[in-house]
Amino acid sequence: MKIKKKVLIILISISIVILIAVIFFVISPKVRFIENLEVPINKEYYNLDAIKNIKNGKIISNKERIDTSKLGNIEITIEIKNILGISKKYKTKIKIVDTEAPNIIYKNILTTQIGKEIDLLNGVEVSDNSNEKINVVVEGEYDFNKTGEYLLYYVAKDSSGNIKKEKFTLKVLANGVNESYFTTSKGFSGVIKNGVTYIDGYLVVNKTYSLPSTYGNGLTKETMDAFNELKSAALLDGFNIYIASGFRSYDRQVTLYNNYVKRDGKNAADTYSARPGHSEHQSGLTFDVNEVSDKFHNTPEANWLKDNCYKYGFILRFPNGKDKETGFKYESWHFRYVGKELAKKLYNDGDWLTMEEYFGILSIYED
Ligand SMILES: [Zn+2]
């Protein structure tokens, strides 16, 4: 009997101890931190950001910004209080790392004339998240005394070994050649070669981009070949398409434009006739067909052209309702040769896009 009682007391005691332990375990606060935490150097980071979750407790520690300006380990301490008011400190380590390469600001095409050395690092800027001063070097071979295109690299390396390599081209031009480069708002590269603008390789003429007065001498062979193809296809469908107005020289456009200005005033003339140098007809890639007037709109011929011209490399250059983009009102008779690839893109399943929209360029006179 006595032994039984003793055993019972022991068992009860053990149970109580276990129960207390369980209760204590259940209510004791617990913090879990994000494991193997790496934070980029100079990143805005707070002590509380390192916490994954908290059990049975409330954070006492204030939100504090961590100094992330130096590489290496940093210890973080977080204090937690449970419902009984018992507080405890927890520690973790975060590692400040630099895995980001420097950023180089540069021009992707540099030009010079033969024999004229230029500083390839002029205007090149480099920044890095580590805030260190980083030097840029040029990699690749080039010769200022030999015309050509040299593919080169700007290379920048930070102290953590992160390397950034950016490709650029050095063009050494022959004397008398003049080239300048730009990038459109849609990211296409443009070049102005001796006064003629090419975007993504396509010649562009509009109110913003002009042609030199000496440019052009008739419709180009590829334009004529493509037109003959189009003409044959139209005939098979029962339509007679003919060129009413093809190439127009700069001088011819001077006369035309001035006459329109005399008749309708400059503002009106600018909506339907290009100023000299700004007419696509001078490019040799453009023509007007059949009836050059609003009466041509919606004729079977105009509709056939609108739906089929792209198959032969032509675009409806001034689509209906795109006056703001092209700078010109709807011209159902005016077609421009761009080749089949671009023509199909601009045809856009029947919802014609303008060159201006596609390339991300404007068509506005400077003055
Ligand atoms: Zn025209």
Give residue limits of the domains in the chain. 29-97, 103-177, 221-359
Please, where are the H alpha helices in 34-152? Answer: none
The predicted pLDDT at position 25 comes to: 73
Compute, in angstroms, the gap from residue 323 CA to the centroid of ligand 1: 14
The predicted pLDDT at position 190 comes to: 94
Does residue 119 register a pLDDT over 90?
Answer: yes
Q: How far is CA 29 from CA 52, 58, 94, 292, in A?
A: 14, 8, 22, 85
Tens digits of per-residue pLDDT, 177-187? 888 889 999 99
Tens digits of per-residue pLDDT, 276-313? 999 999 999 999 999 999 999 999 999 999 999 999 99
Residues whose CB falls within 8 Å of the CB of residue 20, separated by 6 or more in sequence, listed in order: none
Q: 17 in helix, strand or coil?
A: helix
Residue 33 main-chain phi, psi, to 5 deg: -95, 160
Report d(CA 282, CA 251) in Å as an integer: 10
Sign of CA dihedral 284, 330, 295, 234: positive
Torsion angle (degrees, nearest 10) of CA 195, 197, 202, 208 = -130
Say if CB 113 and CB 170 are below 8 A apart: no
Mean pLDDT, residues 144-157: 95
Does residue 1 register a pLDDT over 70?
Answer: no
Compute, in angstroms, the gap from residue 188 CA to the centroid of ligand 1: 26
Mean pLDDT, residues 255-281: 93
Does residue 23 register a pLDDT over 90?
Answer: no
**What is the residue whose two structure tokens read 């050494």?**
172
The predicted pLDDT at position 29 comes to: 76
Compute, in angstroms, the gap from residue 246 CA to the centroid of ligand 1: 8
Compute, in angstroms, the gap from residue 287 CA to the centroid of ligand 1: 6
Compute, in angstroms, the gap from residue 192 CA to the centroid of ligand 1: 23
The predicted pLDDT at position 3 comes to: 79
Report d(CA 316, CA 154) in Å as an integer: 42
- Topology (CATH level 3) of domain 221-359: Muramoyl-pentapeptide Carboxypeptidase; domain 2 (3.30.1380)
Domain 29-97 -> CATH class: mainly beta
Mean pLDDT, residues 42-56: 90
For residue 228, what pLDDT band results from cuts at 50, 70 and 90? very high
Q: Which of 44, 331, 341, 357 is catalytic?
A: 331
Q: What pTM did the predictor assign? A: 0.65
Compute, in angstroms, the gap from residue 333 CA to the centroid of ligand 1: 7
Mean pLDDT, residues 155-170: 94
Does 44 participate in catalysis according to the annotation? no
Report d(CA 351, CA 214) in Å as an integer: 35
The predicted pLDDT at position 15 comes to: 92
Measure CA 54 to chain center.
Answer: 44
Percent of the chain with pLDDT over 90: 78
Q: Give the residue among 236, 226, 232, 198 at the shortest CA–CA distance from 340.
A: 226
Does residue 26 register a pLDDT over 80?
Answer: no
The predicted pLDDT at position 21 comes to: 85
Q: What is the DSSP track for 170-186? A: EEEEPTT--EEEEE-TT
Report d(CA 254, CA 275) in Å as an integer: 7
The predicted pLDDT at position 54 comes to: 86
For residue 86, what pLDDT band results from cuts at 50, 70 and 90? confident
Range scoring the smallest mean pLDDT among 170-184, 250-264, 308-322: 170-184
Compute, in angstroms, the gap from residue 172 CA to the centroid of ligand 1: 37
Report d(CA 34, CA 55) in Å as an integer: 15
Say if CB 248 and CB 284 are below 8 A apart: no
Domains 29-97 and 221-359 share a fold: no
The predicted pLDDT at position 95 comes to: 94
Q: What is the mean pLDDT of the chain?
A: 93
Which helix (DSSP H) or strand (DSSP E) does residue 165 occupy? strand 163-173
Residue 18 main-chain phi, psi, to 5 deg: -60, -45
The predicted pLDDT at position 22 comes to: 82
The predicted pLDDT at position 31 comes to: 85
Report d(CA 35, CA 95) in Å as an integer: 11
Compute, in angstroms, the gap from residue 278 CA to the centroid of ligand 1: 11
The predicted pLDDT at position 339 comes to: 98
Q: Considering the domain 103-177, what is its CATH architecture?
A: Sandwich (2.60)
